[in-house]
Structure 1
Amino acid sequence: MNLLAIGYVWPEPASSAAGYRMLALLDCFRRHHWNVTVTSPAEKSIHRADLPARGIREQSIALNCSSFDSFVREAQPDVVLFDRFMMEEQFGWRVEKHCPLALRILDTEDLSCLRHARHAAAKLSGEVTTDVAPERLFSDHAKREVAAILRSDLTLMISRAEIELLTSTFKVDPSLLHYTPFMLEPVDTEQQTQLPQRDQRNHFIAIGNFRHAPNWDAVLWLQQAIWPLIRRQLPEAELHIYGAYPPPKATAIDTPRQGFRIKGWAESASEVMKQARVNLAPLRFGAGLKGKLVDALACGTPSVTTSIGAEGMNDEHCTWPGPIADTPEAFADAAAELYQDPELWLQCQQQGFRLHNRHFAFESHADALTARVATLRQTLSQHRLNNFTGAMLRHHTMKSTQYMAQWIEAKNRHKND
């Protein structure tokens, strides 16, 4: 079987949670002996994963260029995986035209229209924002993203909370969605005992790609409102902030005298996480699941986060293993208590291991996904007949996208003549 993945960017597992989630999806199909090819119109970063070393082929592609048509026509993939809805918009019509029998899967990473709506609401309120008004949620961004979901045969959703939003608010048929959170190897008892103990750990940590708006907002909220309250209770404490692509405005707020340290890029996020006593994730807006919190679970590092951070991170059998606080005062108090209380710290750590191993087990999610794909390939004709709305959207909206792409290509060709 052949899988073609069309990436918004090349996977960077050390830079973002989206990067290692995409890599896990690719590994899922490789473990089931699929041939996997990854393509992207993005430039290749030095931080990208070594895909050929994992038995995955790489191929650069161009936007608005018919060269992709001949490429995909020759490749004839059985399944095409679009990394975020913009790639489905760009290449979906070309895949349908040249490989009509290929199963088309969209991976949203997170529901970006929800993240954007919450961002706009948080800018106005300055508070943690989970619920947003329908007039803000039903944006042009949402129309594009939900349309891509409806045009696809299947969409992979990282959060059950987002599945609920799509089915209840946007009325998306559940048969078009599949729950696929982070897929990770379990942390066994031996690995747990080899981690640094509480008394061997120092300082607070915060981590996240600085290019991701919720992460930068969290850094600013820490600096301006939360960290001064923590330092008042713990005068010797330090907060070490790590993340890929730190801009000058981030390094400018590094203040050693206040224990507020901008560390920037970490060669290994897990190594710095293992050395920290408490992880801080004061997210005021966002969507999906938070990789920094999942990493902390695996490293045995208890976290303090907001209701945004904890969203989708538990189920009916296993609750979120740490304090949840949505105001600077409550967040600082929870952080100081968790840092100082050995019993509470150990309780949160052990509950975190249970949540990690139960909620994000690679094998169970990989098996469920490949089984779903196999079933859909056998029933694809009926599945598409059941999705008349998707067929209607492909008929209308993809025509406009097709003609725009062809116009841009013709314009570029004329410019180069």
Structure 2
Amino acid sequence: MEKLKDLVYLNLSFNDLSGKIPNCGPFAKFSMESFMGNKELCGASRFHVMECKEGKGKPRNIAIFLKYVLPSLVSVIVFVVLLVWMLTFWKRNKRREPRAEDSLDVALRRISYYEILRATEGFDESNLIGRGSFSLVFKGTFVDGVIAAIKVFNLDVQDSIRSFEVECQVLRNIRHRNLVKVITSCSNLDFKALILEYMPNGSLDKWLYSHNYFLDIYQRLGIMMDVGNALEYLHHGHSFPVVHCDLKPGNILLDESMVAHVGDFGIAKLLDKDKATKQTKTMGTVGYMAPEYGCAGIVSSMGDVYSFGILLMEVFTRKKPTDEMFHGDFTMRKWVCDSLPGAIKEIVDSNLLTGEEGGQEIEECFLMVMELAVECTADFPEERITMEDVAGRLKHTLHKFTHNTS
């Protein structure tokens, strides 16, 4: 191995190896991180291993066989026997073909940097499908044909490593049909990426503001029902609440069936049960942040409820909370409140009112949604309703109007 001139990276840590570490060739530039967890190795002091002595580091062949080879051989034989048994059992009891998401789990369990490089054609600009504060998202096609979204973190940006770690921590503890699924990760000292389930219909932001796309009122209601279900799960679905902290159209992705999935948990918070926390550095998107979060850094599930209310207003009015018409005390919430209930035609997305069919029903649906949005965006957290109640109200609204149209 000393003659491998092009060897630039080596990681033999925690392999229970023994013997002398070479000191020439590429080994001259390796550090202790390459050999950690191997108590029987010896070599130069910079590797933090014991000093080599004559006769040490070269155990007898029989001892090596008994200590290292034999246990491994037995393990391999046991594994093969179990594998054959499981394959036989599976063939006899096969009840269904694996779903696409099952095949993703198998295909992408271990991904290397070079596989990602190949899948994205060297991170080519043509494969760039998203851009965030800490990362770029590329569409990647792997050699087996599997397509995934690859979120590559910019390690030169402050807090990007923390964002990667938070997202890994959150997404390995939660699982819901309306959350973007993380398949695996690729991480070393110089590169960090998440391999995500690919969403072929892109973001909600694209569908709201691109001229080539359109969502009718029932599609918008269904998407917000999906987002509400995701937030209800995050806040109430397991032992610790998760607060997303950055809910906006760009972080809501749509699959091939137009089912919404909430993504980007880079600044999310895991809280103790029914508690709030305070942070000194506020991170989020202006216009969507709750007042207590933007001003005082107070994080709670009620902050997500506020963001959801703003999102409801935006989705059905097609007006961003940062639009130039909103300034000073005249906010999106005030604009909506001042228009209820008599002037809703002035604020509803005009694209929803084209044509005469179902006009009254659309107005009634819009009014119910806006009243809910106002309740979500109360100035004080204790005055807002919970995501459990929000999801229940949306479900009732969706059932009422889609049932009438069917």
* TM-score category of the 2 structures, normalised to the smaller one: under 0.3
Return the index of the structure with the highest Cα Rg. Answer: 2
Bigger helix share: 1
TM-score by length of 1: 0.22
TM-score by length of 2: 0.23
Between 1 and 2, higher relative CO (CA 8 Å, sep ≥ 6) is seen in: 1
